[in-house]
Chains A and B, each alone.
Chain A
């Protein structure tokens, strides 16, 4: 079953471990601007929401790419940016509805999440558990259940007797 990166923003503390370890894994340095996952902060409200590639089934970034740079590498299951093909036209940046594609500030090529080829580093360092990497059906099941619980349907046996 296909695994997806699940973001539970309610748990995010805004520590930026995900950004830091992402830039390290991909570039060997620490720089949020080189991270493929980015934090949106509303500082006065202490609200933090991570934003990352949605791994669309019909990715607009790949549809608009004129050189085929946005796509999978032969023999690999995960999407990448083939930097050698990228001409820096930024069509993908504009096409992405999530704001999850950015330009590399130094190389002038597109950047997006590649799930660390199946073992995302950001998930491993997310201490509050705002990021999970799990099968899609499990994620949907949990979400469905949490939503129903939030409706107040589940009552304790004592309550139900009344």
Chain B
């Protein structure tokens, strides 16, 4: 199973040294691959108190177990490190085609530590690693960097992961960009890469991957293929992309608008995937590696003041963060802002979030055009949004304040601005109004990296498809719980999705295939693992591995000092009622959250007072070594017999 797992490539940029180590089979069985293996590596390599932007913070790239094979939609790469935005655990992942290429070059994992004296890029090809001068690339945007590397090495089939000026300037929400337009966006992994003076990682391989049981693996791939195509949502996702759902989200009063002051807009149509098609901006539908859905977009503006704009996206999150959130319904400005973020290497969610927070500050008079070098940052001012994106990436003027993320920016601006800094744990919330989606609320509160949907996508709670309703019945015993306004059974729904999402990420599958569409079931994933490795695993056992991964990620934060107080939601979600849904329950009150948390910790076997996992829980999951370390630090809760 060595080639399908791939070796670990360690790179020390300080010493300019690279070496490889195989992954122990036992570790594969415990942590599966990708995200799980990364969690295990980070726990081992990132000592408590490591400075996120210091040379010791390991930047870990992990491909999914199935990445590089025909397994549909399994090409994702997970990036893991200590987050410079939050100081907590960070896993962030990207699609594109880089992960498969790393596998063909002989590696499943890349662990980068240290800091180069001057900008470099890594050139990894068929087992070889070269440290190449990148001084001529520093300052170039992501697209220029990608093209320049392909040109100078002389191979157009090279895959590149790169940072843009955002990462170079250590913007706290700088992304690592894969295959030009696929972002490992959240939490500032791009700033960690920039802090190491690492501009890019170019990869090319001619190796071959063989499953332990090739014929069975091929059969499982065919079953996954058929099951995924049969899901009632697949065709729509292919046709209109992620933003095809924006209209539905708007109707459900979930579309964050005007910095979460509104959750519904009368005319959001210009921000929908349907409009991108109808108005002719969509030029091509694009797929990540081995993906049979192909939800990624390629858009282009041909005429007008933004003519010449082209590239990947925009996705739903971007259209909400840089569009509705900023009170902006101008499709072309959002397409342009999306291109800017891609090229500068910024997370569109956080970038849009800090700008809309600043807009609210501007509207309320806490900052003025004088603070902004003349920029009139009122709602819906498109040119001002575009200029702000650029200033953030280069840390010019007020852009330098916003580049620190909304939590730090609110501390600087002061007043009541923390109330509309829609963040928790230091991360800006992703684009769903959790006041009208209670499983999302719980999931966002307990997410170790902060309030977003990318550790636990509980889309099923809306019950929008037969598959979603069937899943809710499977988890709770009754379809009536497919109701986002109920708090009942939300902990059970979150718990199932956490495990499933961890397995999904670890095998390299896209979360759309398991927790937005439902074609790839845990049972199928158990088959994928078994056929790939030759180690037979059941549905229950693979979901338990998912729980092991989720628990280890939690333990990382516990080791760094996290307690129950950190499992919380943004002030606005907890203290202001949603104005667009006249239900008194349209708020994430402290009482409501506390009740869900109690149940959630109980389901996990975590102590309700501290939120720390119990020793018995850790031992049951085979994390006895983790328990010993936490015990030595005094971070195991008291546990009485019986």
Are the C-beta atoms of A46 and B157 separated by less than 8 Å?
no
Contact of A30 among B157, B209, B298 (CB under 8 A): B209
* Contacts of B117-172 to chain A: CB distance below 8 A: 143, 146-147, 156-157
Query: B104 contacts the other chain (Cβ, under 8 Å)?
Result: yes
Tell me whether B209 and A14 are in contact (CB under 8 A).
no
**What is the CB-to-nearest-CB distance from B506 to chain A, in angstroms, rounded to a whole number?**
19
A-B interface contact total, Cβ < 8 Å:
94
Q: Mark A91-109, 1 if CB is under 8 A from B, else 0.
A: 0000000000000010000
CB nearest neighbor in A for B159: A43
| Separation of A25 and B361 alpha carbons in the complex (Å) | 60
The reply to whether B284 and A46 contact each other, CB–CB distance below 8 Å, is: yes
Map CB proximity to A onto B270-310 as digits: 1 under 8 Å, 0 otherwise: 00000000000000111111111110101000000000001
Q: What is the bound-complex CA distance between A20 and B218, given in angstroms?
A: 11
Mask: chain A, 25-50; 1 = CB below 8 Å from B; 0 = not: 00111111110000001111111100
Q: Which of B68-76, B314-322, B554-562 is found at the contact surface with chain A?
A: B68-76
How large, as a class, is the contact surface on chain A? Answer: 20 to 34
Instruction: Tell whether, in the assembled complex, residue B181 and residue A46 are in contact, meaning their CB atoms are under 8 Å apart.
Output: yes
**Cβ of B180 and Cβ of A17 under 8 Å apart?**
no
Q: Are B208 and A27 in contact (CB under 8 A)?
A: yes
Q: Does A72 contact B (CB under 8 A)?
A: no
State the Cβ distance, B313 to closest chain A Cβ, in Å. 10
B180–A15 CB distance below 8 A? no
Residues of B within 8 A of A44 (CB): 143, 146-147, 180, 311
- A20-B207 contact in complex given A30-B68, A46-B181, C-beta closer than 8 Å: no
Residues of A within 8 A of B292 (CB): 15, 17, 125, 127
Residues of chain B lying within 8 A (CB to CB) of residue A128: 238, 285, 287, 294
Judge whether A41 and B104 touch: CB under 8 Å. no
Q: Does A21 sit at the interface, judged by CB under 8 A?
A: yes
Complex: A31 Cα to B225 Cα, angstroms: 19
Judge if B206 is at the interface, Cβ distance under 8 Å. yes
Once bound together, how far apart are the Cα atoms of A35 and B61, in whole Å? 27
Shortest distance from the beta carbon of B357 to any chain A beta carbon, whole Å? 32
| Distance in angstroms between the alpha carbons of A128 and B147 in the assembled complex | 27
Of B70, B225, B294, most A-chain CB atoms within 10 Å: B70
A45 contacts which chain B residues (CB < 8 A)?
Answer: 298, 310
Contacts of B70 in A (CB 8 A): 17, 20-21, 24, 30, 125
Q: Measured between C-beta atoms, what is the minimum distance from A54 to chain B in Å?
A: 22
Q: Note all chain B residues with C-beta closer than 8 A to A13.
A: 284-287, 291, 294, 296
A-B contact pairs, 9 of them (CB 8 A): A17-B72, A20-B70, A32-B104, A41-B97, A45-B310, A46-B181, A46-B311, A127-B229, A128-B287
Interface residues of A (CB under 8 A from B): 13-17, 20-21, 23-24, 27-34, 41-48, 105, 125, 127-128
